[in-house]
Structure 1
């Protein structure tokens, strides 16, 4: 049955072509369309170089599409806006600012009053488990703690859509699994909409309601896979037969796309 809900985010026929001289154009995305509804956690996964991050940055307004349109809550996206917030893989913290100042940064840019800033900053610092570290600087934090600061900063500005670009790729595997559970708890508690880029099949299945599977470049969404495993999820969820079945299906897709890359001489 077709989903008749009005999507929170909708993108139609997105094309991104990088011009590196007339003889060397790179068609990164081709006719990419999709809909994401409020409260969904949607991962995007595909072979290396397929345009996952390009798509995410285009949805954020950091990259202007060559053609196509993007709408959030019915309003066309023309550039970055307060209805979207990005969490980057390299943390992107300001080293001269404390944890508190980093989390407060977007709120101060928005001109929020000091009392509201303090309430929101402390709420999200507590929510990501960093209470007591408000006065610490990034160099005093572990990789996982830095990423918690980035997540708190993004949530603090109360975006409609949270965009996460491989946020756990720079942290160790043990911390990564802990962060997956923490992000799910926050997402469910805050009822936020998340678009998540990852190379990890396991991570995508564990976190997502749906997964967009992308083709080799020029990147296209070739499947929209619903993950029918109930929340809340724990590490024990990963032992379920249906969980393993989803992983196998995605792995088959990736193997096929990588084989196409080899045949084209791009891998």
Structure 2
């Protein structure tokens, strides 16, 4: 199969040539097929978010390439959409206005926007809340708005940067199931950053395991548990085995980090 997204030998260096130069990514490479949900996991500071922002075109690598369907990415574009960990909603806009924001920028008509926005508001279970403002919503509801906004622009690829880190554990588990339902129904390709081993195994078709900084992908772990998955999936023996594999990787990398004096 041809990869929908491919990145090859990505190097990202911040403050190049200065005493505080940081080599964030080193020769990071990977391929992602259409319809996959890929989690990226690694020790703190390994460059997970930098990699995601590079795939989005927000960060330009010093060397290496990123391409979608064989076309090199030079910057942000409509084929990708980002969901941030801090919701990134505009507090002066209602739920409807937040979800509609990208569509308004693209020049859609009012009728097109209304039908489109309401479809995605219903999809994330927020029908009846379209005229509420962010301060009137719970953390989980805010994150649903962010997800609806990203889906509304109909990207080929959805990039999610620790989207559930700011919500409580019970809501987080519910949102994990919701994301899987949406991904399968909408047939989207998702790249998901997380610190949670449990979350990575539950959501992913594959997990990219990264090294300490400068980050690179050293293991591409296939999660061979069929979809659809439910919370009961987490009690399966194979689920625990995958968690153990990832934990052993993280433990080894954090030990390396400690020995380098970076912890």
Taking structure 1 as the reference length, what is the TM-score of the superposition? 0.97
Determine if the alignment matches structure 1 residue 78 to structure 2 residue 74: yes
User: How far off is 1:111 after superposition?
Assistant: 0.7
**Farther-moved stretch of structure 1 (115-124 vs 161-170):** 115-124
The structure 1 residue matched to 2:31, chosen from 20, 23, 35, is 35
Q: Which runs of 5+ in 2 are unaligned?
A: none
- 2:65 paired residue number: 69
Matched, 1:169 2:165: yes
- Say whether 1:116 aligns with 2:112: yes
Q: 1:178-197 maps to which residues of 2 (within 5 A)?
A: 178-197=174-193
Structure 1: distance between partners of 2:131 and 2:16: 45
Instruction: Report what 2:196 is aligned to.
Output: 200
Runs (4+) of structure 1 exceeding 6 A deviation are: none
**Secondary structure at the residue paired with 1:162?**
strand
Look up the match of 2:141: 145
Aligned-residue offset at 1:113: 1.7
Distance, in Å, in 1 between the alignment partners of 2:29 and 2:141 is 35
Which one of 9, 29, 34 corresponds to residue 13 of structure 1? Answer: 9
Gaps of 5+ in 1: none
RMSD across aligned positions (CA):
0.7
Task: State the 1:21 CA deviation.
Answer: 5.1
1:242 matches 2:222: no
Note the C-alpha offset of 1:22.
Answer: 2.4
1:200-219 alignment, distance < 5 Å: 200-219=196-215
Q: Look up the match of 1:91.
A: 87
Aligned twin of 2:48: 52
- The equivalent residue for 2:255 is 259
Offset of 1:23 from its aligned partner?
2.2
